[in-house]
């Protein structure tokens, strides 16, 4: 039985540590946040993710998972810490190097160090080099450490399923490192496991998220053009996607989260001359919240002191994560624009952030002049427009996700506006 130390108990680290523990590995999960450590040790979770609580409870109960503030000697170390960007959209690798510093004293001959965090090309090499600089025994070869990059690929909201079923790519700095890392993942992954070199694995991960970002940017650009043409982008995309080799994604209020809105910069910041499409897609997607705000201002132009209801704060449906959320950006931009000349209300049933003034669905619609759907949480689909129509001031709804039942809202007297579509066609 191998011992594994997972550094970082966030969206990726905690499910990974629990899954490995439930498959017989002895796992210590490490986090710098004491509250997270205490929560995990009592079988609790600090993240909203379907099925995670049960998985963590089982892992802690089996005594195969413990959380701690400091690493311990182990056979394998898996680094799952965030990699945000800093000023100038440059990758911030502070947490990756902090994690490396934390495990440095515990590294022994034959250990495997796996980097799961999404990183710019050549980071795995840089970490191995850093360890050599800090540990003479690694530099002179008396202690051999096997470094590999194995990027996580799971979709928030479906993490537990995808952690097991998705194919994995493992990029070892040496062939032996790939073989050893593959052994670990083989115990828990039912998808295929492909081995390659570390830089290729880094680029594979960045290419996946960049592909999605560029595709969404294209959909957002089509939405803008279709609005000008007075047609519905939703119909255009749906019909274009009937072609066997076309799969255009959905436009929306912008692209958020800690992956797709960040990772393309890991390529573009290092290759600014070459990364033309990547940079321009990022710029398109970053501009969408401003366009949405422009439309909201236009819809309120005839109203004195409007009350604007924003539904959703998280970056996408049915998750409680508001990092880089376009919904929150739009909320902030509206507050800045209107200042005290409008009341901007916000509801999100998934985000539990005390600094947000989260208004309940029971009272949020009272006297509203505009309802804007920003995140397509399932419960917003069940809002009854007939009931709402009796308490709002103006019956206008703006759907930035093309999610609501527009027929139903219209039959309750609402004027319905949808992103990427001329309201006359709705
Ligand atoms: N979005 C659109 N239109 C779409 C799809 C998404 O506007 O058609 C928006 C979402 O609303 C959200 C953002 O894009 O604001 C990103 O959401 P997402 O569901 O596309 O992706 P993430 O960030 O939750 O997860 C991605 C996934 N990558 C790919 O699908 C290639 C996931 O598999 C990765 O593991 C994850 O990034 C990560 O951690 O890197």
pLDDT higher than 70, residue 261: yes
What's the gap in Å between 155 CA and the centre of ligand 1?
7
What's the gap in Å between 250 CA and the centre of ligand 1?
11
- For 45, 290, 321, 373, 402, the CA distances from 331, given in Å and listed in that order, are 28, 11, 16, 11, 19
Atom of ligand 1 nearest to the CA of 205: 40
Name every protein residue with a CB atom under 6 angstroms from any ligand 1 atom: 118, 152-156, 208-209, 212, 216, 249-250, 252, 255-257, 259-260, 315-316
Strand partners for 172: 148, 197
**Domain 243-425, CATH number (from 3.40.50.10090, 3.40.50.300, 1.10.40.60, 3.40.50.720):** 3.40.50.720
Those residues whose C-beta lies under 8 Å from the C-beta of residue 422, and which sit 6 or more positions away, are 226, 227, 230, 231, 232
> In the chain, what percentage of residues exceed pLDDT 70?
99
pLDDT higher than 90, residue 95: yes
pLDDT higher than 90, residue 354: no
pLDDT higher than 90, residue 1: no
SS3 357: coil
pLDDT higher than 60, residue 424: no
pLDDT higher than 70, residue 375: yes
Average pLDDT (213-230) is 97
Atom of ligand 1 nearest to the CA of 260: 23
Six token digits for residue 18:
């629990």
* pLDDT, position 426: 53
Average pLDDT (186-197) is 98
* CA-proximal residue: ligand 1, atom 37 (nearest): 259
Average pLDDT (368-378) is 98
Angle at 207 between CA 146 and CA 351, to 5 degrees: 95
* CA-proximal residue: ligand 1, atom 25 (nearest): 155
Percentages of the chain per state (helix, strand, coil), in multiples of 5: 40, 15, 45
Q: Is 253 left (phi over 0), alpha (psi -120 to 50) or beta?
A: alpha
Q: Which residue has the tokens 């710098």?
A: 32
In contact, 223 and 233? CB cutoff 8 Å? yes
* CA-proximal residue: ligand 1, atom 3 (nearest): 250
In contact, 377 and 318? CB cutoff 8 Å? yes
Average pLDDT (383-405) is 97
- From 48, 259, 400, the mutation candidate for ligand 1 (largest count of ligand atoms within 8 A of CB) is 259
pLDDT higher than 70, residue 308: yes
Six token digits for residue 241:
């996607």
pLDDT band at 352 (very low <50, low <70, confident <90, very high): confident
* pLDDT tens digits, 235-257: 999 999 999 999 999 999 999 99
User: Measured between alpha carbons, how far is 281 from 44 in angstroms, rounded to an integer?
Assistant: 39
pLDDT higher than 70, residue 61: yes
* pLDDT, position 345: 98
What's the gap in Å between 185 CA and the centre of ligand 1?
24
- Whether 3-197 and 243-425 share one fold: the answer is yes
User: Measured between alpha carbons, how far is 369 from 393 in angstroms, rounded to an integer?
Assistant: 5
* CA-proximal residue: ligand 1, atom 34 (nearest): 153
Diameter over CA atoms, the chain: 77
Selecting among 80, 150, 226, 259, the annotated active-site residue is: 259
* pLDDT, position 422: 76
What's the gap in Å between 260 CA and the centre of ligand 1?
6
Domain locations in the chain as residue ranges = 3-197, 243-425
Residue 119: DSSP 8-state: -
Selecting among 5, 80, 150, 205, the annotated active-site residue is: 205
Pairing of β 168-172 and β 146-149: antiparallel
CATH fold for the domain made of 3-197 = Rossmann fold (3.40.50)
CA nearest neighbour of 52 among 313, 321, 263: 321
* pLDDT tens digits, 29-50: 999 999 999 999 998 898 889 9
pLDDT higher than 90, residue 425: no
- For 8, 83, 148, 280, 386, the CA distances from 121, given in Å and listed in that order, are 21, 13, 13, 20, 54
* pLDDT, position 296: 97
* pLDDT, position 88: 87
* pLDDT tens digits, 116-153: 999 999 999 999 999 999 999 999 999 999 999 999 99
Mean pLDDT of all residues in the chain? 96
Atom of ligand 1 nearest to the CA of 157: 24
CA nearest neighbour of 400 among 304, 323, 291, 319: 291
Work out the number of other CB atoms within 10 angstroms of the CB of residue 286: 16
What's the gap in Å between 217 CA and the centre of ligand 1?
12
What strands, in cross-sheet order, belong to the sheet with 370-373?
343-347, 307-311, 370-373, 396-399, 415-418
* CA-proximal residue: ligand 1, atom 39 (nearest): 259
pLDDT band at 87 (very low <50, low <70, confident <90, very high): confident
Active site residue 205: yes
């Amino acid at each position: 039985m191998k011992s594994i130390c997972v550094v970082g108990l966030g969206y990726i680290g905690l499910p990974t540590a629990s899954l490995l523990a439930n498959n017989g590995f002895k796992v210590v999960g490490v986090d710098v946040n004491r509250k997270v450590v205490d929560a995990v040790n009592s079988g609790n979770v600090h993240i909203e993710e379907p099925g995670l609580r049960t998985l963590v409870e089982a892992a802690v109960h089996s005594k195969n998972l413990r959380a701690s503030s400091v690493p311990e000697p182990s056979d394998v170390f898996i680094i799952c810490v965030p990699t945000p960007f800093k000023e100038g959209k440059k990758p911030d690798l502070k947490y990756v190097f902090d994690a490396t510093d934390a495990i440095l004293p515990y590294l022994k001959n034959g250990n495997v160090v796996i980097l799961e965090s999404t990183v710019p090309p050549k980071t795995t090499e840089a970490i191995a080099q850093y360890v050599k600089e800090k540990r003479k025994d690694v530099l002179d070869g008396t202690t051999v450490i096997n470094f590999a990059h194995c990027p996580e690929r799971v979709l928030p909201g479906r993490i537990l399923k995808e952690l097991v079923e998705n194919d994995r790519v493992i990029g070892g700095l040496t062939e032996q490192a790939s073989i050893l890392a593959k052994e670990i993942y083989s115990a828990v992954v039912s998808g295929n496991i492909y081995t390659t070199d570390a830089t290729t694995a880094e680029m594979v991960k960045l290419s996946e998220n960049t592909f999605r970002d560029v595709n969404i940017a294209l959909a957002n650009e089509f939405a803008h053009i279709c609005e000008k043409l007075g047609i519905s982008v939703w119909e255009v995309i749906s019909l274009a996607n009937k072609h066997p080799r076309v799969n255009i994604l959905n436009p929306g209020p912008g692209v958020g989260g800690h992956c797709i809105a960040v990772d393309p910069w890991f390529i573009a910041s290092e290759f600014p001359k070459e990364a033309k499409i990547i940079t321009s897609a990022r710029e398109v997607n970053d501009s969408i919240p401003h366009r949405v705000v422009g439309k909201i201002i236009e819809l309120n132009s005839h109203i004195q002191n409007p009350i604007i209801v924003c539904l959703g704060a998280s970056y996408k449906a049915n998750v409680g994560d508001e990092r880089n959320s376009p919904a929150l950006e739009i909320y902030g931009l509206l507050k800045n624009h209107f200042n005290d000349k409008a009341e901007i209300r916000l509801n999100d049933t998934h985000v539990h952030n005390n600094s947000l003034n989260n208004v309940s669905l029971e009272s949020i619609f009272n006297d509203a002049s505009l309802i804007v759907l920003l995140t397509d949480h399932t419960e917003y689909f069940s809002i009854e427009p007939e009931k709402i129509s009796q308490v709002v001031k103006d019956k206008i709804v703006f759907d930035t996700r093309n999610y609501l039942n527009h027929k139903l809202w219209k039959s309750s007297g609402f004027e319905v506006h949808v992103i990427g579509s001329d309201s006359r066609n709705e």
